[in-house]
C-alpha cells in the first residue's frame, strides 16, 4: 500500500481506469491482505498469494515494507537501459492511474453506508432512553414483592415448627406400636416359619428394649420377646441339627443364630461337625466305589464324582464358614484349615487308591482328563483355604501319578522291545522248519525298528497329554521343567535307549558262550539295530522329544553323542559276539574233525573231506546272512584272478623258504630259523581283533577264528604221510573258497600255510602231495 501511495498524482480521476473497479477489487483486496500480513510478519499469506516473493527487506521492492524510492530510482537508473526506463515509467504511470481510480470507487461505494449507519445510531439512542424508564419501574415492583414474601414466611414460621414436632411424635408412636406388637409379630413369624423376618424384627427391637428395660411396660415386652426369641433359637437349632437340608440352608440357620447372639464358638464347632458328617458321607460313597470289587466307574467318572460331591461340598462349607465366622479371626481360619486338611487328606488317600488301580494300564487320555478334573476342582478350595495346602497336595498327587506313568511307559517300552525280540526269535526259528533259506533279516529289522519307533512315539504322545495347554496342571513348574527334561527325556527316552542297549549287551554276556542260547542272526540283527540307532534314530527321537516337550529346564541332560557312543559300543560288542559265536560254530566243526580222526592210519586222500565243504557252505550262509544287514566293506586290493592262485603259492613256491626243509628231517634247525625269519616279516595276526561294521570285516573275523582253531588242533595231532596230504588237500580247498570272503586274502593264505606247515612238522614221514594232484582233487570235489 505504501508503494502505491508513494506515487499517485492527485489529478487522476476515477474515470481514467479502463477496466471496471469491480473486477479489480478482490484481487486488490487480497493483495492488501498480503501486505498487512507481511507487515505483521505473517509469512504464510504471502506464500499462498504469490510464488516465493523477493526478500521482504529489499528496499527496491516496490511492494515491500522497506521500500526506499531513492534507492529504487537509483537502482533503476543505474541498471536499466533507457528503453527499459521508459517502459517502467509508463508502467508505473499506468499503475498509479489505476490506483487512483480504485480509491475513488471505494469512496463512492462506502459513502451511503456511512450515512445509514449514522441514522441507526441515532435511532438506538432514542430506544435506550425508553428502556431505562421501564427498568426503573421493574425495580420498584420487585422491592414490593420481596417485602410481601418476607412477611408471609414470618407468619408461617410458627406453624412449621409444630408440624415438625408432630411428625416426630408420629414416628415415635409408630415405633412404640411396633414394640408393642413385636411379641405377636414374632410369634406369627415363628409360626409361619419366616425365621429371617423374625430375627430381623428382633434385631431391630433389641437395642431399644435393652435401653428402656427399666420401664415396666417395656420390660414386659422384652420378656415376651426373649421367650419368643428363645423359642425361635430352639427351632432354628432344631432345624440346624436335623441337617437334612443342604449346606446353604444350614448356613442360613447359622447366620440367623449368630444374629440372635448365640455363642459363635459353639456354633462354629457344630457347623463343622455337621459339615464333616456330610462330607464323610461323600467319602464313604466314594470308598464304596473303590470297593473290593473291580471299580465299575472309570477313573474319570470317579474323580468327577469326587470333585462334584466331596470337593464341591468342601467348597460350600469353606465359603459358608468364612462368610459366617469371619469375625472369629485367625483361630477360626485355623480350625477350618485343619478340618479341610484332615478331610482332604482322606479324600486324597481315596483318590490315590483309585489312581493306583489305574496304573496297571488303561487309557492315558482318560487318566489325564481325570487328573485334570481332580486338579481343577481342587483349585477352588485351594484358593479358599490356602492354609490347608490342598492345591499343593493335589499337585503333588498329580506329579506322583505322572512320574509313575512315566515309569509305566518305560516298562511298556521295555516289554515291547522284549516282545519284538521274541517275535524275531520266532520268526528266525520258524522258516527253518519249513526248510526255507534265511528269513528276510532286513525285513525283520525294519519291522523291529518301526515297531519300536512307533511304540516310542505312542508313549511320547501319551505322556505329552500331561503337558497339553488345556490341562490345568500343565503350567506347574514340575510339568514345565523337570517332567519334560528329567522325566520324559532322561527317564523315558534315554532310559529306554539305555535299557535297550543293556538288554542287547546282555546277549553278549549270557552263558550263550556255548553257542545255543541266542540265535546268531538275532545278534546280528540287534547289532544292526543299535548301529542304526547310533546313526539316525537316537538323534531323531531326541529331537522329536525336545520339540514336543520344549525342554526349558536347565538341568543337565544326556547329550546325543553320549547315547550314540553307547549304542555304537553295543553294536560293536554284539557284532563281535556274533563273530565269536559263528566262529565258534565253525571252529567246533573243524576241531571235531581234526580230533576224532586217526591221522596216522588214514588212507591216501581221494576227496576233500566233507567237513571242509560244510565249512565253506556255512561260511557262505553266514556271508549271505551278514550281507542282508551290512554293507560289503572295503577289501584289500588284490590281483584280479586270485581264485586261480595255485596251490604252489603255499607249498611249492615257498619250498626253499619254508616247507621243503621241514620235510627233510636232516635240517631241523634251519626250518625253525627260516620260519622265524619269515615271521618277522609277516604281520602278526590278531585272531579276535575288533570288528568293523561291514560284511567283509565280520567274515574275516569268523574265518580267522576258524582257521586259527584248525591250526592249533593240527598242532596237537600226529600225522601220517597221508594224513598230511589230506590236510594239504583240505587247506587247498579252503583256500579256493574262502579268499573271497575276507578283507585281505593274504591272511587266509598265511593261516592255511601255517596249518600245512604245522601238519608237516607233526608228521614223522612228511611227503607232500604233488600240487597238481591236489588241485585236481579239489576241483573234482
Provide the minimum distance between the beta carbon of 658 and another protein in the complex, in angstroms, as a whole number.
12
686 binds another protein (CB under 8 A): yes
Q: Which is nearer to another protein, 307 or 723 (CB)?
A: 723
- Cell 499503475 belongs to which residue? 95
Contacts made by residues 233-241, CB under 8 angstroms, sequence distance 24+ = 233/257, 233/260, 233/262, 235/190, 235/195, 236/195, 236/260, 240/270, 240/274, 241/270, 241/274
Q: Which stretch binds another protein (CB under 8 A): 403-411, 444-452, 455-463, 593-601?
A: 593-601
Q: Are 472 and 494 in contact (CB under 8 A)?
A: no
Calculated CA dihedral for residues 368, 374, 379, 384, nearest 10 degrees = -170
Cα of 185 vs its chain's centroid, Å: 67
HSE of 386 in the Cβ direction (CA atoms, 13 Å)?
2
Tell me which of 76, 106, 600, 611 binds another protein, using CB under 8 A: 600
Query: Which is nearest to 576 in space by CA: 692, 711, 452, 428?
Result: 692
Q: Which is nearer to another protein, 188 or 715 (CB)?
A: 715
657 binds another protein (CB under 8 A): no
Give the interface size with another protein as a residue count (CB under 8 A). Answer: 28
Question: Which DSSP string do the residues of 569-589 spell out, in sequence order?
Answer: HHHHHHHHHHHHHHHHHHHHH
SS3 of 78-115: HHCCHHHHHHHHHHHHHHHHHHHHHHHHHHHHHHHHHH
Instruction: Return the residues of window 459-488 that contact another protein according to CB under 8 A.
Output: none
Tell me which of 516, 637, 676, 780 binds another protein, using CB under 8 A: 676
Q: Which is nearer to another protein, 409 or 704 (CB)?
A: 704
Could you give the CA distance from residue 475 to residue 493 in angstroms, rounded to a whole number?
22
Provide the minimum distance between the beta carbon of 687 and another protein in the complex, in angstroms, as a whole number.
5
Provide the minimum distance between the beta carbon of 648 and another protein in the complex, in angstroms, as a whole number.
24
Q: Which is nearer to another protein, 231 or 715 (CB)?
A: 715
Strand, coil or helix: what is 730?
Answer: helix
Provide the minimum distance between the beta carbon of 667 and another protein in the complex, in angstroms, as a whole number.
9
Q: Which is nearer to another protein, 527 or 709 (CB)?
A: 709
Please enumerate in sequence order all residues whose Cβ is within 8 A of that of 58, keeping only pairs 6 or more positions apart, or say none: 64, 66
Could you give the CA distance from residue 450 to residue 417 in angstroms, rounded to a whole number?
11
Could you give the CA distance from residue 265 to residue 241 in angstroms, rounded to a whole number?
16
For residue 120, which phi and psi values (nearest 5 degrees)? -55, -45
- Count CB-CB contacts under 10 A for residue 672: 13
Tell me which of 55, 184, 688, 779 binds another protein, using CB under 8 A: 688
* Nine cell digits for residue 316: 460350600
Query: Which is nearest to 438 in space by CA: 430, 449, 448, 450?
Result: 430
Strand, coil or helix: what is 633?
Answer: coil
Q: Which stretch binds another protein (CB under 8 A): 154-162, 174-182, 340-348, 663-671?
A: 663-671
Provide the minimum distance between the beta carbon of 600 and another protein in the complex, in angstroms, as a whole number.
4
681 binds another protein (CB under 8 A): no
For residue 534, which phi and psi values (nearest 5 degrees)? -60, -45
Query: Which is nearest to 774 in space by CA: 732, 734, 739?
Result: 732
Could you give the CA distance from residue 68 to residue 91 in angstroms, rounded to a whole number?
18
Q: Which is nearer to another protein, 112 or 666 (CB)?
A: 666
Q: Which stretch binds another protein (CB under 8 A): 99-107, 204-212, 467-475, 508-516?
A: 508-516
Could you give the CA distance from residue 64 to residue 203 in angstroms, rounded to a whole number?
94
Residue 678, judged by CB atoms within 10 A of its CB (0-12, 13-18, 19+), counts as middle
Provide the minimum distance between the beta carbon of 517 and another protein in the complex, in angstroms, as a whole number.
11
Q: Which is nearer to another protein, 529 or 702 (CB)?
A: 702
514 binds another protein (CB under 8 A): yes
For residue 474, which phi and psi values (nearest 5 degrees)? -70, -15
Q: Which stretch binds another protein (CB under 8 A): 211-219, 344-352, 360-368, 756-764?
A: 756-764
Question: Which DSSP string do the residues of 325-340 spell out, in sequence order?
Answer: TGGGTHHHHHHHHHHH
x-or-dash string of contact with another protein, 697-736, rule CB under 8 A: -----------x---x--x--x-x----------------
Tell me which of 79, 513, 632, 770 binds another protein, using CB under 8 A: 513
Where does 325-389 have alpha helices with state H? 330-359, 364-384
Q: Which is nearer to another protein, 310 or 719 (CB)?
A: 719
Could you give the CA distance from residue 170 to residue 162 in angstroms, rounded to a whole number?
12
Provide the minimum distance between the beta carbon of 705 and another protein in the complex, in angstroms, as a whole number.
9
* Nine cell digits for residue 435: 526248510
764 binds another protein (CB under 8 A): yes
Tell me which of 116, 140, 141, 601 binds another protein, using CB under 8 A: 601
214 binds another protein (CB under 8 A): no
505 binds another protein (CB under 8 A): no
- Cell 509469512 belongs to which residue? 43
Provide the minimum distance between the beta carbon of 663 and another protein in the complex, in angstroms, as a whole number.
11
Q: Which is nearer to another protein, 148 or 681 (CB)?
A: 681
Q: Which is nearer to another protein, 474 or 709 (CB)?
A: 709
Furthest C-alpha separation in the chain: 175
Where does 596-689 have alpha helices with state H? 610-629, 660-663, 668-681
Tell me which of 672, 767, 770, 779 binds another protein, using CB under 8 A: 672
511 binds another protein (CB under 8 A): yes
HSE of 148 in the Cβ direction (CA atoms, 13 Å)?
6
Instruction: Return the residues of window 17-76 that contact another protein according to CB under 8 A.
Output: none
506 binds another protein (CB under 8 A): no
159 binds another protein (CB under 8 A): no
680 binds another protein (CB under 8 A): yes
Could you give the CA distance from residue 309 to residue 280 in angstroms, rounded to a whole number?
10
668 binds another protein (CB under 8 A): yes
Tell me which of 2, 689, 770, 776 binds another protein, using CB under 8 A: 689
* Rounded (to 5) percent helix, strand, coil in the chain: 80, 0, 20
Could you give the CA distance from residue 749 to residue 650 in angstroms, rounded to a whole number?
7
436 binds another protein (CB under 8 A): no
Q: Which is nearer to another protein, 271 or 719 (CB)?
A: 719
Q: Which stretch binds another protein (CB under 8 A): 118-126, 144-152, 399-407, 675-683?
A: 675-683
Provide the minimum distance between the beta carbon of 499 and another protein in the complex, in angstroms, as a whole number.
24
Rg (Cα) of the chain, in Å, rounded?
59
598 binds another protein (CB under 8 A): yes
Tell me which of 165, 284, 592, 679 binds another protein, using CB under 8 A: 679
248 binds another protein (CB under 8 A): no
Q: Which is nearer to another protein, 154 or 680 (CB)?
A: 680
Please enumerate in sequence order all residues whose Cβ is within 8 A of that of 55, keeping only pairs 6 or more positions apart, or say none: 61, 64
Give the length of the chain: 781
592 binds another protein (CB under 8 A): no
Provide the minimum distance between the beta carbon of 662 and another protein in the complex, in angstroms, as a whole number.
9
Provide the minimum distance between the beta carbon of 513 and another protein in the complex, in angstroms, as a whole number.
3
Q: Which is nearer to another protein, 508 or 777 (CB)?
A: 508
Q: Which is nearer to another protein, 505 or 758 (CB)?
A: 758
523 binds another protein (CB under 8 A): no
569 binds another protein (CB under 8 A): no
Provide the minimum distance between the beta carbon of 742 and another protein in the complex, in angstroms, as a whole number.
17
Q: Which residues bind another protein (CB under 8 A)?
A: 511, 513-514, 584, 598, 600-601, 665, 668-669, 672, 675-676, 679-680, 684, 686-689, 708, 712, 715, 718, 720, 758, 761, 764
Amino acid at each position: 500500500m505504501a508503494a502505491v501511495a508513494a506515487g499517485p498524482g492527485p489529478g487522476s480521476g476515477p474515470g481514467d481506469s479502463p477496466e471496471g473497479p469491480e473486477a479489480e477489487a478482490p484481487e486488490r483486496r487480497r493483495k492488501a491482505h498480503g501486505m498487512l500480513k507481511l507487515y505483521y510478519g505473517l509469512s504464510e499469506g504471502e506464500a499462498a498469494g504469490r510464488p516465493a516473493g523477493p526478500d521482504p527487506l529489499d528496499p527496491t521492492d516496490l511492494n515491500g515494507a522497506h521500500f526506499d524510492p531513492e534507492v529504487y530510482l537509483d537502482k533503476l537508473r543505474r541498471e536499466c537501459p533507457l528503453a527499459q526506463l521508459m517502459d517502467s515509467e509508463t508502467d508505473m504511470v499506468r499503475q498509479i492511474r489505476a490506483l487512483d481510480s480504485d480509491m475513488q470507487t471505494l469512496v463512492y461505494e462506502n459513502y451511503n453506508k456511512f450515512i445509514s449507519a449514522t441514522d441507526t445510531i441515532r435511532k438506538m439512542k432514542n430506544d435506550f432512553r425508553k428502556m431505562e424508564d421501564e427498568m426503573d419501574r421493574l425495580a420498584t415492583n420487585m422491592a414490593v414483592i420481596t417485602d410481601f414474601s418476607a412477611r408471609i414466611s414470618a407468619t408461617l414460621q410458627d406453624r412449621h415448627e409444630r408440624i415438625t414436632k408432630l411428625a416426630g411424635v408420629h414416628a415415635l408412636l409408630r415405633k412404640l406400636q411396633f414394640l408393642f406388637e413385636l411379641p405377636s409379630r414374632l410369634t406369627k413369624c415363628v409360626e409361619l416359619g419366616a425365621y429371617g423376618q423374625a430375627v430381623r424384627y428382633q434385631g431391630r427391637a433389641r437395642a431399644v428394649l435393652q435401653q428402656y428395660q427399666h420401664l415396666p411396660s417395656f420390660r414386659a415386652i422384652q420378656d415376651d420377646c426373649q421367650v419368643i426369641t428363645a423359642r425361635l433359637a430352639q427351632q432354628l437349632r432344631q432345624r440346624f441339627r436335623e441337617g437334612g437340608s443342604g449346606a446353604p440352608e444350614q448356613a442360613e440357620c447359622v447366620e440367623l443364630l449368630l444374629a440372635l447372639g448365640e455363642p459363635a464358638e459353639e456354633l462354629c464347632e457344630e457347623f463343622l461337625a455337621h459339615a464333616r458328617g456330610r462330607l464323610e458321607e461323600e467319602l464313604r460313597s466314594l470308598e464304596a466305589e473303590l470297593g473290593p470289587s473291580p471299580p465299575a466307574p472309570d477313573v474319570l467318572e470317579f474323580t468327577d464324582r469326587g470333585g462334584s460331591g466331596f470337593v464341591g461340598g468342601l467348597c460350600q462349607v469353606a465359603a459358608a464358614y468364612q462368610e459366617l465366622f469371619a469375625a472369629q479371626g485367625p483361630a477360626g481360619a485355623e480350625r477350618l484349615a485343619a478340618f479341610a486338611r484332615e478331610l482332604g487328606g482322606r479324600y486324597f488317600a481315596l483318590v490315590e487308591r483309585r489312581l493306583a488301580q489305574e496304573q496297571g494300564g488303561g487309557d492315558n487320555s482318560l487318566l489325564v482328563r481325570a487328573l485334570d478334573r481332580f486338579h481343577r476342582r481342587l483349585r477352588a478350595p485351594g484358593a479358599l483355604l490356602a492354609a490347608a495346602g490342598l492345591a499343593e497336595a493335589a499337585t503333588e498327587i498329580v506329579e506322583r501319578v505322572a512320574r509313575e506313568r512315566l515309569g509305566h511307559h518305560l516298562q511298556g517300552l521295555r516289554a515291547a522291545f522284549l516282545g519284538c525280540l521274541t517275535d524275531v526269535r520266532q520268526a528266525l526259528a520258524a522258516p527253518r522248519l519249513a526248510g526255507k533259506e534265511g528269513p528276510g533279516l532286513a525285513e525283520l529289522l525294519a519291522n523291529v525298528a518301526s515297531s519300536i519307533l512307533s511304540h516310542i512315539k505312542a508313549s511320547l504322545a501319551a505322556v505329552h497329554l500331561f503337558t497339553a495347554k488345556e490341562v490345568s496342571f500343565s503350567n506347574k513348574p514340575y510339568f514345565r521343567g523337570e517332567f519334560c527334561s528329567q522325566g520324559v527325556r532322561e527317564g523315558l527316552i534315554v532310559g529306554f535307549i539305555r535299557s535297550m542297549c543293556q538288554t542287547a549287551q546282555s546277549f553278549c554276556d549270557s552263558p550263550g558262550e556255548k553257542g545255543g542260547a541266542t540265535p546268531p542272526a538275532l545278534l546280528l540283527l540287534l547289532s544292526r539295530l543299535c548301529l542304526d540307532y547310533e546313526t539316525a534314530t537316537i538323534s531323531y527321537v531326541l529331537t522329536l522329544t525336545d520339540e514336543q516337550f520344549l525342554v526349558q529346564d536347565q538341568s543337565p541332560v544326556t547329550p546325543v553323542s553320549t547315547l550314540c557312543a553307547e549304542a555304537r559300543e553295543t553294536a560293536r560288542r554284539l557284532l563281535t559276539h556274533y563273530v565269536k559265536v559263528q566262529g565258534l560254530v565253525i571252529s567246533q566243526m573243524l576241531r571235531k574233525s581234526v580230533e576224532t580222526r586217526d591221522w596216522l592210519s588214514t588212507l591216501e586222500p581221494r576227496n576233500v573231506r566233507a567237513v571242509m565243504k560244510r565249512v565253506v557252505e556255512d561260511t557262505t550262509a553266514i556271508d549271505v546272512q551278514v550281507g542282508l544287514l551290512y554293507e560289503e566293506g572295503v577289501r584289500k586290493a588284490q590281483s584280479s584272478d586270485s581264485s586261480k592262485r595255485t596251490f604252489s603259492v603255499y607249498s611249492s613256491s615257498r619250498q626253499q623258504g619254508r616247507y621243503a626243509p621241514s620235510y627233510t628231517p636232516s635240517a631241523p634247525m634251519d626250518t625253525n630259523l627260516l620260519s622265524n625269519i619269515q615271521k618277522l616279516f609277516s604281520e602278526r595276526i590278531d585272531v579276535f581283533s575288533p570288528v568293523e561294521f561291514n560284511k567283509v570285516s565280520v567274515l574275516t573275523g569268523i574265518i580267522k577264528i576258524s582257521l586259527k582253531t584248525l591250526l592249533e588242533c593240527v598242532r596237537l595231532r600226529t600225522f601220517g604221510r597221508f594224513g598230511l596230504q589230506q590236510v594239504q588237500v583240505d587247506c587247498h580247498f579252503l583256500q579256493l573258497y574262502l579268499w573271497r570272503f575276507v578283507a585281505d586274502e593274504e591272511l587266509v593264505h598265511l593261516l592255511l600255510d601255517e596249518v600245512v606247515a604245522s601238519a608237516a612238522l607233526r608228521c614223522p614221514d612228511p611227503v607232500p602231495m604233488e600240487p597238481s594232484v591236489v588241485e585236481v582233487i579239489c576241483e573234482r570235489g
